[in-house]
């Protein structure tokens, strides 16, 4: 019956409105100790559970870290860095990011950047600062600049990830084609994704450079 002590801890913790994460951890520890587990065994069980569900729980680590950095001036520092760079423009900044995003996605590194961890805290403020340097106060408050930064991240990821042969979409296409009697290797599908990625880079890159011209006229 002592093993059920963890339930009592959960009920009491929620009634007293303690931190839910702390309540769950203490409840698990109490249950483990009541079952005769050593503290190291309980810690190992926590580690195994986290490792088995790391793709689900990683967001709970990324978001608080980003929020803490923003609270201590991450966006302001990003804007200051771009403002101090000679010749920095919105188009050049986003064009470089687009190339980096496509290359890393093609290598399978699709989670090293994204809207939450890169665009909102870093890329968006840097793009706005570059726009203000180009067009002056007229660019302040223009929501199209952060939106274009988010679109650049999405385009780079979407057209770059299909080059990586072990991606789920490549395996899905292989399975669908195999169902119709068309046998293709994942590498063959990845090769044919390269022209689409190049075309996306050229088309969106042209849009970014055209934005530079419009901002220059606005100034």
Closest CA to 147 of 216, 80, 71, 94: 94
- Calculate the alpha carbon distances from 198 to 96, 201, 210 in Å: 14, 5, 18
Q: What is the pTM of this model?
A: 0.65
Domain limits, the chain? 2-52, 74-218
CA 67 vs. chain centroid, Å, equals: 14
For 189-217, the DSSP string reads: HHHHHHHHHHHHHHHHHHHHHHHHHHHHH
Both tokens of residue 31? 């249950």
pLDDT digits (tens, 9 = 90+) for 99-111: 999 999 988 888 8
Predicted pLDDT at 103: 93
R_g over Cα of the chain: 24
Calculate mean pLDDT across residues 39-48: 83
Kind and range of the H or E run holding 50? helix 39-52
Q: Kindly report, residue by residue over 5-24, the tens digit of the pLDDT.
A: 888 888 888 888 888 878 88
% of the chain surpassing 90 pLDDT: 18
């Amino acid at each position: 019956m002592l093993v059920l002590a963890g339930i009592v801890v959960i009920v009491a913790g929620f009634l007293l409105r303690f931190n839910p994460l702390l309540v769950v951890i203490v409840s698990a520890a109490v249950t483990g100790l009541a079952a005769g587990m050593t503290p190291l065994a309980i810690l190992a069980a926590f580690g195994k559970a986290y490792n088995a569900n790391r793709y689900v729980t990683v967001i709970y680590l990324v978001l608080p870290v980003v929020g803490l950095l923003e609270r201590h001036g991450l966006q302001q520092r990003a804007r200051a860095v771009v403002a101090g760079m000679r010749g920095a423009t919105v188009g050049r900044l986003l064009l470089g990011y687009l190339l980096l995003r496509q290359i890393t996605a093609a290598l399978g590194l699709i989670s090293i950047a994204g809207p939450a961890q890169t665009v909102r805290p870093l890329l968006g403020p840097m793009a706005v600062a570059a726009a203000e340097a180009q067009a002056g106060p007229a660019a302040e408050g223009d929501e199209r600049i952060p939106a274009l930064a988010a679109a650049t991240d999405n385009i780079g990821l979407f057209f770059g990830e299909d080059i990586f042969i072990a991606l789920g979409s490549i395996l899905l296409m292989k399975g669908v084609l195999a169902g119709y009697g068309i046998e293709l290797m994942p590498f063959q599908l990845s090769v044919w994704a390269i022209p689409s990625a190049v075309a996306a880079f050229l088309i969106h890159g042209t849009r970014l450079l055209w934005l530079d011209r419009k901002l220059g006229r606005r100034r």
